Amino acid sequence: KRLAVVANSTPLYLRPGRIGRMRLRLRSGDSAEWEWAVASGTVDFTVRFEWEHPEHGVASMAGPHTATTASTTAVVQQYQHEASSGRASGRFERSADEPEGVLELCWSNYESYVRSRSISHRVVLRNQSGASLRGDVVVE
């Protein structure tokens, strides 16, 4: 498998009320690992996977995931992470027979009216196909 480090040097800076999203296309057999920390305060964090069914566009998925809709699986349910908890990490893997889709990591400072948050993050993708992998954080 090939490795690609998507982000690790520039911290994500979220002003009050803002949300940062990183979207990564994963193909069958690909996996993603993430690690991040907030410098101070708290942020909400969630990870979702939107998959594509090769014949029908979308499909339901059974498995160890925490919630499922018609085309989206919550890989990590939204939770509030405190700086005092240290680094957060996780992993998501597609087996060779599962359809491709988009993995979305989301950090939210929506609940804050005053304070900005600085988040250091690192995402590593393991890719079987050799295609280039890229993901940028978009702040909304």
> Per the domain annotation, does 42 fall within a domain?
yes
Provide the whole-model pTM.
Answer: 0.77
> Per the domain annotation, does 125 fall within a domain?
no
Q: Is the pLDDT of residue 17 over 90?
A: yes
Q: Is the pLDDT of residue 60 over 50?
A: no
pLDDT of residue 128: 66
> Per the domain annotation, does 134 fall within a domain?
no
Secondary structure of 55-122 in the HEC alphabet? CCCCCCCCCCCCEECCCEEEEEEEEEEEHHHCCEEEEEECCCCCCCEEEEEEEECCCCCCCCEEEEEE
Domain that holds residue 29: 20-106
Which residues lie closer than 8 Å to 85 by C-beta, 6 or more apart? none
- Give the dihedral sign, CA 77/5/32/89: negative
Q: Which residues of 111-135 are buried (b: 16+ CB within 10 A; e: fewer)?
A: ebeeeebebbbbbbbbbeeeeebeb
pLDDT of residue 46: 94
Scanning the structure block, which residue is given the tokens 């014949």?
55
> Per the domain annotation, does 10 fall within a domain?
no
> Per the domain annotation, does 68 fall within a domain?
yes
Which residues lie closer than 8 Å to 64 by C-beta, 6 or more apart? none
> Per the domain annotation, does 119 fall within a domain?
no
Helix (H, G, I), strand (E, B) or coil at 9: coil
pLDDT of residue 62: 37
> Per the domain annotation, does 93 fall within a domain?
yes
CA distance 126 to 82: 28
Q: What is the pLDDT of residues 26-56, one digit of tens each?
A: 888 888 889 999 999 999 999 999 877 554 4
> Per the domain annotation, does 138 fall within a domain?
no
Q: Is the pLDDT of residue 63 over 60?
A: no
CA distance 53 to 71: 9
Q: Is the pLDDT of residue 4 over 80?
A: no
pLDDT of residue 131: 53
Across all residues in the chain, what is the average pLDDT?
Answer: 79
How many domains in the chain? Answer: 1
Q: What is the pLDDT of residues 117-138, one digit of tens each?
A: 999 998 888 876 655 455 666 6
